[in-house]
Amino acid sequence: MSKVRRRRLSLPAGSPATRYNRRVETSAPATPETAADNERKGRFSRRQRFFIWLIGWAEFLLIRLLGPTLRFSISIEEGGPSHWHMAGAIYPFWHRCVIPGTFLARGKQMTVLLSSSFDGECSVRPLAKFGFRTARGSSTRGGARGLLGMQKAVESGYAVVFTIDGPRGPMYVAKLGPVLLARITGSPIICFHIALENAWVLSRSWDKLMIPRPFSRALVRISRMIYVPRDTQDLDPYRGEMQAALDRVREYAEANVARAEQVGQPFDSFDRHS
């Protein structure tokens, strides 16, 4: 088998990418992968592969059983998209919403950025079963490779998703990736949050992960669109705008989930047009 030549990705000194993605090596070319084809057996021991299989199936069954019982309503800020799913858009959200978020966006062929870690590998197969694509990388490892994969997905017409405080926090602190991608592609950033009226909360996990209780109300709040000019050099104001939007939609959803039917519209009315 021929060896894959690896090359170091060189970036201009002082650029945002060098500040947030240091010491990155990537195989060229980098493209989004179909999640079901992304197992990479050589990177994990037999024991780890068993737990990847076990956790993946448990995650799939949990979402598959609980998701259909949730009562979703959707509320969109002024200046937001006409429908909740917009092709080629960039969707950041907080990691603790990943269970209801996976069910909400099933079947839309959205591309998710996953870390190359054990935790990321556990999510690959359940996401494939729900119709997602994946790009691999994170803010701490393989960031440039992951960003290139997401760029390819957007340019191919797929919406992309960032669990923006993952893979390990800090909780509710947004990273720069979506802003970089928005500048490169010209696509809008659309932040969202899902609040659950009744949930089990894993209080010892870094993200306070929410597991919805059956038949809970779920209010999805979607922000207005944020555009990043291609010629801008200072990205911090746009990251601040994205952080503010993430905080704003979270606060609104959590404050109004008990009356979700009054402040939002049923998910089905949006989904028919998405």
Domain locations in the chain as residue ranges: 45-271
Mean pLDDT of the chain: 85
pLDDT tens for 39-83 read: 455 678 889 999 999 999 999 999 999 999 999 999 999 999 998
- What DSSP string describes 147-166? HHHHHHHHHTT--EEEETTT
Contact 119, 167 (CB under 8 A): yes
Q: Which of 185, 200, 148, 127 is nearest to 30 (CA)?
A: 148
Least confident span in 1-15, 135-149, 188-202, 248-262: 1-15
Per-residue pLDDT reduced to its tens digit, 233-262: 999 999 999 999 999 999 999 999 999 999
pLDDT, residue 44, reads 85
Both tokens of 76, joined, read: 């969109």
The region, left, alpha or beta by phi > 0 then psi within -120 to 50, assigned to residue 28 is beta
The model's confidence at residue 140, banded by pLDDT at 50, 70 and 90, is low
Distance between the two ends of the chain, CA-based, in angstroms?
Answer: 44
